[in-house]
């Protein structure tokens, strides 16, 4: 977990999809979608071909229709994704989905140490757990906004230490105050 942030506490931290996701995945999604639409037009105009087995034709239709219908909402999700940690409003907001949870109703702030999952290294992260036990938001060490978000989460933890359970979470979020 990184050290304490120096300077003034940010009042609002907005976490968006990483820039590489927007710059690389969106053009790739667009190119793949255009290819699927062209394939769909070809299927509608020419059919699958006389020598194509029925099962292969059905699978082709289903896959092309699936990708034509799924890629636009996926791109919309990437463009609209944002998590807002608002100190002044005392809220956690997440889009899409219009989730807005007051800090006073949170159950826990859970810090998780770096770990290895299927030979992939995961950095430290903090989960914001809602009153129903579900994860409202998660802030990862790999995010560009990590230092500012961690400062906000630490401020919430200092304000209400009952939100922090477990030794690792206390050490990470409350530091020497634990």
DSSP-derived secondary structure letter, 166 = S
Distance CA(173)–CA(2), nearest Å, equals 10
CB-CB contact of 92 with 83 (8 Å): yes
Tell me the pLDDT of the chain averaged across its residues: 85
pLDDT tens-place string over residues 120-161: 787 888 999 988 888 888 888 888 888 888 888 888 888 888
The pLDDT, as a whole number, for residue 34 is 96
Among 12-21, 76-85, 112-121, which is the least confidently predicted range? 112-121
Over pLDDT 70: what percentage of the chain? 93
Distance CA(142)–CA(84), nearest Å, equals 17
Q: Where are the domains of the chain?
A: 19-80, 82-177
Q: Place 86 in a pLDDT band, splitting at 50, 70 and 90.
A: confident
Region label for 49, one of left (φ > 0), alpha (ψ between -120 and 50) or beta (otherwise): left
Tokens describing residue 41: 């037009």
Tell which CATH architecture fits domain 82-177. Roll (2.30)
- Matching residue, tokens 């931290």: 13
Tokens describing residue 163: 């939100």
């Amino acid at each position: 977990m990184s050290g304490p942030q120096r300077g003034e506490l940010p009042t609002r931290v907005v976490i968006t999809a990483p820039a590489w996701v927007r710059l690389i995945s969106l053009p790739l999604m667009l190119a793949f979608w255009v290819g699927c639409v062209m394939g769909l037009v070809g299927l509608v105009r020419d059919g699958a071909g006389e020598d194509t087995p029925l099962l292969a034709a059905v699978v082709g239709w289903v896959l092309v229709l699936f990708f034509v219908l799924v890629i636009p909402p996926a791109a919309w999700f990437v463009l609209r994704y944002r998590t807002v940690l608002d100190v002044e409003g005392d809220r956690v907001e997440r889009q899409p989905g219009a989730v807005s949870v007051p800090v006073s109703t949170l159950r826990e702030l859970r810090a998780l140490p770096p770990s290895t999952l299927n030979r992939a290294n995961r950095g430290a992260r903090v989960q914001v757990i809602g009153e129903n036990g579900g994860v409202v938001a998660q802030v990862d060490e790999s995010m560009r906004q990590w230092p500012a978000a961690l400062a906000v989460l630490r401020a919430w933890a200092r304000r209400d230490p009952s939100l922090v359970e477990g030794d690792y979470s206390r050490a990470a979020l409350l530091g020497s105050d634990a």
